[in-house]
Structure 1
């Protein structure tokens, strides 16, 4: 399994399903390109903060200082979020 796929699995299983306690969906049912907010998974602003906290804890990266538009783009789907995390992790190494 490549690094991006590992990141996606952590986002889906540990952050979205377990941390947010999404009981009505499994990690396997979450499409990588499905919107996290609005018409997709339907997450709200409180859950967005929980996702940010989960990302910071799981991947040990800080997400402070991001512009609103960058946040909107980064958190639009599992695909975009995993790409952002992968980029940050490769900068650290």
Structure 2
């Protein structure tokens, strides 16, 4: 059973998770795009989510929604985060 190949953005986000949360024993390839990041998956918690949101905002220049339902969906997996980052970057938000 082969895991799906990560896109470049998914790999970059997986590495950002590792770097931000000091998960030294993992490599980006150890976090499959569809693996849940919270609970039974990678085991992240709400504090990790806040740190990760700040890191994503800083790295990609995007705004992370604070709406709990949407945030939970966006942060569910690396694949979801990659899709969210891509959609935010493509939105062309010129408000800086």
Question: Could you state the TM-score of these two structures normalised by the residue count of structure 1?
Answer: 0.86
Specify which structure has the higher proportion of helix.
1
What are the ranges of 5 or more consecutive residues in structure 2 without an aligned counterpart? 1-5
Counterpart position of 1:77? 77
Counterpart position of 1:91? 91
Question: Could you state the TM-score of these two structures normalised by the residue count of structure 2?
Answer: 0.84
Deviant stretches of 4+, over 3 Å: none
Aligned positions of 1:16-31 closer than 5 A: 16-31=17-32
What are the ranges of 5 or more consecutive residues in structure 1 without an aligned counterpart? none
Distance 1:50 1:60 in 2: 15
Counterpart position of 2:14? 12
Q: How large is the RMSD of aligned CA atoms in angstroms?
A: 1.6
Say whether residues 1:39 and 2:50 are aligned partners: no
Q: Per the alignment, in what secondary structure is the counterpart of residue 59 of structure 2? A: helix
